[in-house]
Structure 1
Amino acid sequence: MEPSSANSGFIQSQPVLRNQFHDDVSLNRIVKLFLPHSLLEAVGPEIAELGEQVLSQEIFDWITDSEKNQPYLRGSGRDAFGKPKSELVVGEGWRKLQEFGFKKGVVALNYDSDYGEYTRLVQFTRCHLWEGSCANTLCPAAMQDGAARLLQRHLNAGSRPADHRVFRNAYDHLTSRDPSKTWTSGQWMTERTGGSDVSQTETVATYDPYPDGSTVPRASAEEDLPLGPWSISGFKWFSSATDSQMTILLAKTQPGKGVSAFFAPMRQYNPSLISATGQRGGTELNGVTISRLKNKFGTQSLPTAELELKGMRGWLIGKEGNGIQEISTILNITRVHTTVSSVGYLGRGIAVAKAFALVREAGAGRGRRLPLSTHPLHMRTLANLTTDYHAMMLLVFYTLYALGLDERASSSGGSQKAPIAKLRPPPNLVAPLLRVLSSLHKSYVCENTVPAVFACMEALGGVGYLVNTESEHLNLARIFRDACVGAIWEGTTDVLAGDTVRALKHPAMGNQCVEAVDWVVTRAGEVAVAGSSTVSPSVWREAKTTMTTAWQDLKDQVESKSQAELLPEARGITFRLAEVLIGSLFLVDVASSPGREVEAMCLRYLVKKRFLDESILAGLDQTLELDQAIVYGRGSVNSVTGAKL
């Protein structure tokens, strides 16, 4: 017997991550369900290439750099002589990751490509792969996307001539793939009076146009674009894109007018500025002072700040008092980005847990040791985790599908339809369905991915709890910290659950929202499988019946009670509604391409969520081989044992 040392004895083999576009069994199935075959063949190679690139050592080095060299204020906000000077400094890794995302068009694809109703699905499939490696750069990209969509709507509707040139310039920057031109955007709503409650906004905008004949300040030396005629002052409590080039913000204008939305460049050109080398002219913040940077539990590479505004110059978007309506366009996009980030983190977590299980052995009693990939208990745990992941992916991607239908209402979607087109709602129900899904999917998914990502971290044992910057591809501690924010920003779980109830009870649109959900559940039951080689037809009939019954119970509850009576139960109602929709989508998924793995996941989910009795599982295949197939895919090879799964 030889004693071990720091460099001898047993040393665990390094887990190897594989391209998730090919290796993620759920993602692989999801894209086949939601994208037409011809489109998937066309875009698949480029997405697969992205899946490979996001796992490169260069990317992981940039992640580590962005975490170690976190944003800071130069001189803590003052120059050497004590003069206030807000200069934000971000690290090289952060900048490189942002540039990578710009070049890959993580936002631009939705605006410079046209895949019809499937465009958003293609965009967010790519974001899903990028999320685990982007070190939070997709956060400002989310607001960039939302701002682009808002400005696009106003440009298409015919904005005021004075604003059109400014809006067009900003839109072109937001949708560029050239890192030297691309802008991100802030989204400033949150103040000390309340997070998602913007009615008490203390920021004030005053219409104060420059006098005729005066020199109007410009946003930059290169572009002859004037700063806006509105002067905006106030204090914003959270800004998660402090290094952006523009922002969309809320402010009050006149008493009784409510809240309005504004576009404002982050910087302005000052010809009197003198650089360290004596050169005259440069840009400075446009009436903005960075009060301090936030010290956060997670998303530490992301510069989040408190901002004081004094005379920030901007442009009114839309009509005075319509700010909440205008900002909702951005929120619909940023909430989708947040939810995609949550399942993206979970997808990466499962990928790491799978890779670890292939190289790690554990005791199995009587001196036996088994690779975790052949350990019955561990594989059942990972299979159940994969089932929950797949369930949430169904809800998220159906929401993306509804978003694509809403944004491209006139699109035919091409000659070939995806299997999910069986659940394409009538045109009059698309907007009501999206109104429900936009709050519901984030409330449910972002809350439930947090314990799921923790389970992935736990699956690595003690090494999972370590901040593995030396092996960044295994750093689930970082991913867990960052995943926790999903249930908080862009509306907490309770805020969004309350919003879901408001949608269902809305005096003008509520009946249509209920009708839209009713259509989805009914239609899913019509296309669901009648049976399969491994499951009795009676089981699927029962599943369809219980799905309909559960929805009818919720519908009766919503229709029989007032909004005030429903509010204390909003979280339970929202989560149950999410489970009904997921169960319905699972049935359609099984119908589109039956197989024992997806059938097992579907039935396990329905049993777990109390739609079916647990006794149904007793007569079904519950073998280790099935669990391995759910996690790794049918026919995959266990690199440790060489045995086919």
Structure 2
Amino acid sequence: MEPSSSNTGFIQQQPVIKNQFYDDVSYQRVARLFLPSDVFDKITPDAAQLGQEVLSQQVFDWVTDAEHNQPYLRGNGRDSFGRPKSELVVGEGWRKLQDYGFEKGVVALNYDTDHGPYTRLVQFLRCHLWEASCANTLCPAAMQDGAARLLQRHLFSSAARKLSPTERDVFQNAYTHLTSRDPTKTWTSGQWMTERTGGSDVSQTETVAIYDPFPSSAPVPLASQSESIPLGPWSISGFKWFSSATDSNMTILLAKTHPSKGVSAFFAPMRRHNPSLVSHTGESGNGTELNGITIQRLKHKFGTQSLPTAELELKGMRGWLIGEEGKGIQEISTILNITRVHTTVSSMGYLGRSLAIARSFALVRPVGMGKGKRIALSSHPLHMRTLANMTIDYHGMMLLTFYTIYALGLDERSLPSGSAATKVPTPPKELVQPLLRVLSSLHKSYVCETTVPLVYGCMEALGGVGYMQNVESEHLNISRLFRDCCVGAIWEGTTDVLASDTLRALKHPLSGKQSVQALDWLILSSKSAALREEWQGLKNKIETGKQEELLPEARGLVFRIAEIIVSVLYLVDVEASPAVEIEAMCARFMEKKGFSVEEAVGKRAKEGGLKLDQAIVYGAGKEIAPGAKL
């Protein structure tokens, strides 16, 4: 018997991650469920190619570089003689990944491609594939998307405040940059709300905006000389405690214009033209500088380490008012509806990739079963049951997430009469916004919180290898995905904050009844008496209880509503494309959540055993053959 060495003896075969467009059964079911067949067929070639490209060695090399060469302030924010100098440096991998996303239209697709109300679904199906390979570049893209939608509303909506010719030129210029696919022209955006006083409570904002137009006797200073874009008439000063996407080209921020008014929303470029700048060789630079911004310091975070997040001091930052004074929360809600979806899709992207890694590992990992018997993990009954249960939760959250995206798409683009029908419930036009008002906060709080232990479970499924920083095999680096995934339950409102928001939406004196009516329409359309009965009880509690009395129970109430909606959508999926494995997934989910199911369905869900669990994890009809020599 020969002893093992560093290069001899058993060496684990490396798992192979397959194109998730085809390999992720849940992804395929959701895409086919929500998209009409003609739209699905039209997007398949490009989306499938994206699914393959995001797993390329080049992309993973960029990810490793972005994680290793993290953002920093050159000279820690000072030059050699102690003068303040806020020069942010990001790595090559970060820049390459961001450019790749621009070219693939991760944001632009929603604005330059028209699939009707399904455009958002197409966009986020693509983002789902890209998320786990993008090294957080989809974070600034999310705010880019939100800013583009906000400016689009003000440029093209008749309901928006009338813009002056100069305002229109400024907003149109920014919108054109935000929706471009050309990396040399595309802008990302910041979203500066958080301050030391309140986190998500923006009512305590200490940033102040003063209307201080430039004198008419001299030319207005420029934000961009090449595009002749002037700086705004508002001077903004304050301190922003968290600013992700510090390398962005512009920002949407909140500030107060008067003590008695609420917060207002502003657009501001990150940089401004300065004709007096002199280069380090003494030549006239005629260049740009930060627009009244000092980067105080960069944040050191548990995850999202490739993403530059900073504390910013603003002194005389020049900007433009968006909408009306005191209506900033109303304006920023347009962005939040979109960034919350992006955050949820990021959680789903991390979990989808983590499950893909766990699936591929199970195919090649041999384990002992006693008495010298060796089998692949993919044939181990307990391991397959564990992965099946995780897959069931994943699919339920995919259904909830993409139903929310469907509602978002309907809000932006109405369903044309006579258009091809989707298989999911389509709310009446008057209920789209009330439904979205609830789903926006509900889906984000439920999905992002629930995802974290599931991604950890995938890390555990690899044993000790899963706990490693697998930078030498970046495609297997679940520890990175776990660190980055954890922020989802914090960004854009923590779980409790969003549960409180959902409760407020349902109890709102003006719009609350409409939101309850929208949930009524969705849930009472279900054939399940158990779900209808459960909702009636919750609805009665919400309608009769006082908001302050319900607040301690808000998280439980919101999660229970989410579980009901997931169950409703599971039943829709079963009816749309019946199969033993989806029936079992639906039955197991509903039984775990305490909802009764049809006896026959429940019996099939229990009797399937290993073969059924394998079908849930890998898909029906796929041969689960070990790739390793056992």
Superposed counterparts of 1:548-587, under 5 Å: 548-587=532-571
1:199 is paired with a residue whose SS is: helix
1:5 is paired with a residue whose SS is: coil
Give the direction of change, closer, same or farther, for the CA distance of 1:440–1:413 in structure 2 (3 Å limit).
Answer: farther
Contact 1:118 1:413 in 2 (8 A): no
1:451 paired to 2:465: no
- Code of the residue aligned with 2:105 in structure 1: it is G
Q: Distance in 2 between matches of 1:618 and 1:582?
A: 21
Q: 1:540 matched to which residue of 2?
A: none
2:33 is paired with a residue whose SS is: helix
Q: 1:537 matched to which residue of 2?
A: none
User: Which residue among 344, 357, 363 is the counterpart of 1:358?
Assistant: 363
Contact 1:343 1:393 in 2 (8 A): yes
Q: Distance in 1 between matches of 2:167 and 2:366?
A: 64
1:73 paired to 2:73: yes
Q: 1:261 matched to which residue of 2?
A: 265
- Code of the residue aligned with 2:405 in structure 1: it is L
| Alignment deviations for residues 389-412 of structure 1 (CA, whole Å, 9 cap, x no partner) | 000000000000000000112x41
Q: 2:584 matched to which residue of 1?
A: 600
User: Which residue among 210, 217, 221 is the counterpart of 2:214?
Assistant: 210
2:238 is paired with a residue whose SS is: strand
User: Which residue among 272, 284, 287 is the counterpart of 2:292?
Assistant: 287
Q: Distance in 2 between matches of 1:161 and 1:59?
A: 43
1:191 paired to 2:195: yes
1:626 paired to 2:612: yes
1:15 paired to 2:15: yes
- Code of the residue aligned with 2:386 in structure 1: it is T
Structure 1 unmatched ranges of 5 or more: 526-543
User: Which residue among 311, 325, 340 is the counterpart of 1:306?
Assistant: 311
| Alignment deviations for residues 587-638 of structure 1 (CA, whole Å, 9 cap, x no partner) | 1110001100100000000011011279874564331111111111112133
The alpha carbon displacement at 1:454 in A equals 0.3
- Code of the residue aligned with 1:243 in structure 2: it is D
Contact 2:452 2:482 in 1 (8 A): yes
User: Which residue among 381, 389, 392 is the counterpart of 2:386?
Assistant: 381
Superposed counterparts of 1:7-406, under 5 Å: 7-157=7-157, 158-280=162-284, 281-406=286-411
If the length of structure 1 is used for normalisation, what is the TM-score? 0.95
Q: Distance in 1 between matches of 2:234 and 2:597?
A: 62
| Alignment deviations for residues 368-391 of structure 1 (CA, whole Å, 9 cap, x no partner) | 111001111100101111000000
- Code of the residue aligned with 1:427 in structure 2: it is K
Contact 1:607 1:614 in 2 (8 A): no
The alpha carbon displacement at 1:364 in A equals 1.3
- Code of the residue aligned with 1:242 in structure 2: it is T
Superposed counterparts of 1:360-509, under 5 Å: 360-409=365-414, 411-412=415-416, 415-420=419-424, 423-509=425-511
How many residue pairs were aligned?
622
The alpha carbon displacement at 1:566 in A equals 0.9
The alpha carbon displacement at 1:277 in A equals 3.7
2:444 is paired with a residue whose SS is: helix
| Alignment deviations for residues 78-114 of structure 1 (CA, whole Å, 9 cap, x no partner) | 1111110000000000000000000000000000011
Q: 1:530 matched to which residue of 2?
A: none
Q: Distance in 1 between matches of 2:279 and 2:421?
A: 58
Structure 2 unmatched ranges of 5 or more: none
- Code of the residue aligned with 1:632 in structure 2: it is Y
| Alignment deviations for residues 157-213 of structure 1 (CA, whole Å, 9 cap, x no partner) | 343333110000000000000000000000000000011000010000000000112
| Alignment deviations for residues 110-136 of structure 1 (CA, whole Å, 9 cap, x no partner) | 000110010000000000000000000
- Code of the residue aligned with 2:207 in structure 1: it is T
- Code of the residue aligned with 1:434 in structure 2: it is L
The range that moved more, 358-367 or 583-592, is 358-367
Give the direction of change, closer, same or farther, for the CA distance of 1:109–1:413 in structure 2 (3 Å limit).
Answer: farther
Q: Distance in 2 between matches of 1:230 and 1:414?
A: 48
1:116 is paired with a residue whose SS is: coil
- Code of the residue aligned with 2:152 in structure 1: it is Q
Q: Distance in 2 between matches of 1:184 and 1:493?
A: 27
2:215 is paired with a residue whose SS is: coil
Q: Distance in 2 between matches of 1:200 and 1:371?
A: 57
1:273 is paired with a residue whose SS is: coil
Q: Distance in 1 between matches of 2:20 and 2:60?
A: 16
| Alignment deviations for residues 226-254 of structure 1 (CA, whole Å, 9 cap, x no partner) | 00000000000000010000000000001
The alpha carbon displacement at 1:523 in A equals 1.7
Q: Distance in 1 between matches of 2:74 and 2:98?
A: 21
Percent identical pairs in the alignment equals 69
2:275 is paired with a residue whose SS is: strand
